[in-house]
Structure formats: C-alpha cells, structure tokens
Amino acid sequence: MKDSVFKILSNEKIAKNTYECILEGDISDVKAPGQFVNIKLDGFYLRRPISVCDAEDGKLTIIYKVVGEGTEAMAKAAVGDEWLTLTGLGNGYDTSPSGDYPLLIGGGAGVPPMYMLCKKLIFEGKHPTVILGFNTKDEVFYKEKFTNLGAKVIVATADGSVGVKGFVTNVMPSCEYTYFYTCGPEPMLKAVYEVSVTSGQLSFEERMGCGFGACMGCSCKTKYGNKRICRDGPVLTKEEIIW
C-alpha cells in the first residue's frame, strides 16, 4: 500500500454518466487485476474507492460512474489537477486456476477491472470470453477495447437496445468455460453464482471507511469467518461465499 500524488492526464466522458480518467504516478504497488485505489478529494472527509482498470508505463486508468457529490467532483477535475491516491489496495484476482477458457463477466461499474484481468489472461496464453452487461446502449463502454485485446466479447442490455436482450446470466448458458471471474452489483453476483457451472472468483462492492482494513466497516461473513472486503477482498472465491 502506498500513498502518492497522481496527476490527471485525461478525464473524459465515455458513456452515460461514466468517465475514464488516466492518471500519472507511482503504480509500483498495483500488483494484480481487481485491486482498487482510494482517492482523496478536496472538501470530502472520506476517500473514494475506485477499481483499477489498467496500470502500465506509469499510467493508471480508472473508470467511474457519477452517482453522488464525490464522483461529481471527480468529473469536474481538469487535466493537470492532482489527487492524493492510495494504491495497492485489495487482493485482486488470481489467474492461476483459470484454465484455458476463462469467462469474464462485468456488469456496469464492474466492467473496468475485467479489462486488466483480460490483458493478463491473454498474456498468459489463455482464451477469455467476456460478457459485458448494461441497462441500455447509452451505458455501453469498452466493447472495442476488449475486442482489440483479442477476446471474444458479448454485450447484454436489459432493454435489448444493443447486443443480447436480458442480463449477463441469459448469456452464460451458451458459453463453454473452465472458470469464471466477475464484478458488478451484488444482485448480479448472486445470479452469476447460481447460474455458474464451474468454480470462480467474485469481486464485491461495499461502503468503505478507510480502505485498508483498519475500521472494520466493510466486514462480511464467509464460510471461513469474517473477512474485510477492502483488505481480505474485494475478491472472494465461489466456495467461501455465504449469501
């Protein structure tokens, strides 16, 4: 875990209420896809936890959705502004059990960590299929980016305005896979858990106070005792989850 200053290189809207921000700074503590950062914003007491979308060549890419005052302030930040940012938070995804044909399932704000994970799996010689779930076509982002990596990409929208009509779980039965990875809202995670036919890893979202395990505010029960989503997670295995 490291606290350092990151400078904004770009901060652009890429879909409805959704922004991609590229930051420059020390990314040495970003070790695995699925980790997150905690950003300090002027005028706000608590930091904002944001998933890492990509980290390469001294640049950190995050994608966030404007849902409140904090993320609204982030959207107004300009190129050249600086944020004090905690990096290296969370455990991230383990790619060792993935098999040759992993399935990656991202829903809305859960799509970004799938990108860095997809890059890593392809680098390891795997052949991932990616399901991206959104409510409507106005919210879709990064389909081309995943395709350009070499992954098979399927988009599902709840209203059917683009791709498959329905949810990510409507697509899953048509996919053959050796393991799954997912991130998104909890109802989606539970549905993926119930439909999945292999083991897998699920990344959870919780309200966080500190982001590194000191305040115990994001603790949850698992089959192996209480775990802190910010420190012992956000990634949990299918076998340890209690709904």
The more confident residue out of 45 and 81 is 81
pLDDT tens column, 159-168: 999 999 999 9
In Å, how far are 63, 112, 197 from 142, measured between CA atoms? 10, 8, 26
pLDDT tens column, 170-183: 999 999 999 999 99
> Which residues fall within 8 angstroms of residue 226, CB to CB, at 6 or more apart?
219, 220
Q: Where are the domains of the chain?
A: 2-89, 102-205
Q: Reply yes or no on whether the pLDDT at 228 is more than 60.
A: no
In Å, how far are 6, 166, 190, 193, 202 from 187, measured between CA atoms? 34, 14, 5, 10, 12
pLDDT number for residue 213: 53
Question: Which of 139, 137, 95, 97 lies closest to 117, judged by CA?
Answer: 95
Question: Which of 202, 18, 22 lies closest to 106, judged by CA?
Answer: 202
CA atoms within 13 A on the CB side of 209: 8
pLDDT number for residue 226: 63
The more confident residue out of 86 and 214 is 86
Residue 207: both structure tokens together: 């309200």
- In CATH terms, the fold of domain 102-205 is Rossmann fold (3.40.50)
Judge whether 2-89 and 102-205 match in fold. Answer: no
pLDDT number for residue 40: 97
Please give the DSSP secondary-structure letter assigned to residue 47: -
Q: Residues 82, 8: contact at Cβ < 8 Å?
A: yes
* Domain covering 2-89: architecture: Beta Barrel (2.40)
Angle at 29 between CA 213 and CA 227, to 5 degrees: 25
Q: What is the mean pLDDT of residues 97-116?
A: 97
pLDDT number for residue 223: 66
Q: Residues 175, 129: contact at Cβ < 8 Å?
A: yes
Question: What is the torsional sign of CA 33, 107, 103, 145?
Answer: negative
Helices marked H in the chain: 69-75, 112-123, 143-149, 168-171, 186-195
Judged by average pLDDT, the poorest of 25-39, 115-129, 199-213 is 199-213
pLDDT number for residue 194: 97
CB atoms within 10 A of CB 231: 20
pLDDT number for residue 106: 98
Q: What is the mean pLDDT of residues 6-21?
A: 98
